[in-house]
């Protein structure tokens, strides 16, 4: 009978769940909902350093994300020293300049773009370069499925980044994504002497916000969502 009572408690999901526990769960849900609603991209930061204990908590949140096959393909390079951030900012800036010159863009516009890129990276108290290591994914004899595995690694890593962004917000920090490493993964790897197999996807600039972010409009659900039912599917085929 003791085993039966234990099984019943397990099925009900209420073992040891008193009012206090239920209240804590509700409070956690509200905090998460608020973080999702309130978080904004922050591009300007106050100069104070982000403590490494805080950085470790951010990374701990990131690696709790789900991943395809549970392969956890994410890799992180943490830059919290001025010289390292400046080295990356210079390398990416020169690559940006080279690409835009090849495009035939206006010289003044190029200079402004390079200065802006350099400032965003070098002036951030903390930069985290996010990479994937596709070696942990499955391999197939055809390109189609290998491409799918690569996209699974990218999707998994993006989920880890969302965790990290929400964790930064909960720590009272601002953060912003820069996807520029996708245009120059080799430049990023060489500037930081990263392992050859690490493919840079994005970088995050993080720190105490120097101002509020800009609220960005979101598309209405009616514009981006369809509810698919059996009837809809039949009509679509007819």
Say if 197 falls within a structural domain: yes
Domain encompassing residue 151: 39-207
Three-state secondary-structure class, residue 78: strand
Confirm if 76 and 192 have CB atoms less than 8 A apart.
no
Say if 23 falls within a structural domain: no
Task: Enumerate residues 6+ apart whose C-beta is below 8 A from 18.
Answer: none
pTM of the model: 0.83
Per-residue pLDDT 10s for the chain (238 aa) are 344 433 443 444 444 556 666 666 666 677 777 777 778 888 999 999 999 999 999 999 999 999 999 999 999 999 999 999 999 999 999 999 999 999 999 999 999 999 999 999 999 999 999 999 999 999 999 999 999 999 999 999 999 999 999 999 999 999 999 999 999 999 999 999 999 999 999 999 999 999 887 777 889 999 999 999 877 654 555 4
Q: In this structure, what token pair is assigned to residue 86?
A: 């400046």
How many domains does the chain divide into?
Answer: 1
Say if 13 falls within a structural domain: no
What CATH number has the domain bearing residue 63? 3.40.109.10
Say if 139 falls within a structural domain: yes
């Amino acid at each position: 009978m003791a085993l039966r009572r234990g099984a019943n408690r397990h099925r009900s999901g209420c073992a040891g769940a008193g009012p206090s526990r239920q209240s804590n769960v509700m409070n956690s849900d509200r905090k998460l909902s608020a973080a999702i609603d309130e978080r904004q991209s922050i591009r300007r930061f106050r100069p104070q350093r982000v403590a490494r204990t805080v950085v470790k908590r951010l990374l701990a949140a990131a690696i709790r994300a789900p991943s395809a096959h549970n392969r956890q393909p994410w890799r992180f390079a943490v830059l919290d020293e001025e010289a390292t951030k400046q080295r990356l900012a210079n390398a990416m800036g020169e690559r940006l300049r080279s690409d835009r010159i090849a495009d035939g863009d206006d010289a003044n516009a190029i200079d402004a773009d390079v200065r802006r890129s350099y400032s965003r990276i070098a002036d951030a108290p903390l930069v985290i370069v996010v990479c994937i290591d596709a070696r942990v994914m499955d391999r197939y004899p055809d390109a189609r499925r290998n491409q799918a595995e690569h996209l699974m690694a990218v999707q998994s890593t993006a989920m880890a980044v969302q965790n990290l962004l929400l964790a930064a917000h909960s720590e009272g920090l601002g953060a912003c994504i820069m996807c520029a490493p996708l245009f120059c993964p080799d430049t990023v790897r060489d500037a930081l002497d990263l392992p050859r197999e690490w493919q840079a996807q994005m970088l995050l600039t993080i720190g105490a916000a120097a101002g509020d972010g800009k609220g960005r409009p979101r598309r209405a659900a009616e514009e981006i969502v369809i509810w698919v039912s059996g009837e809809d599917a039949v009509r679509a085929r007819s």
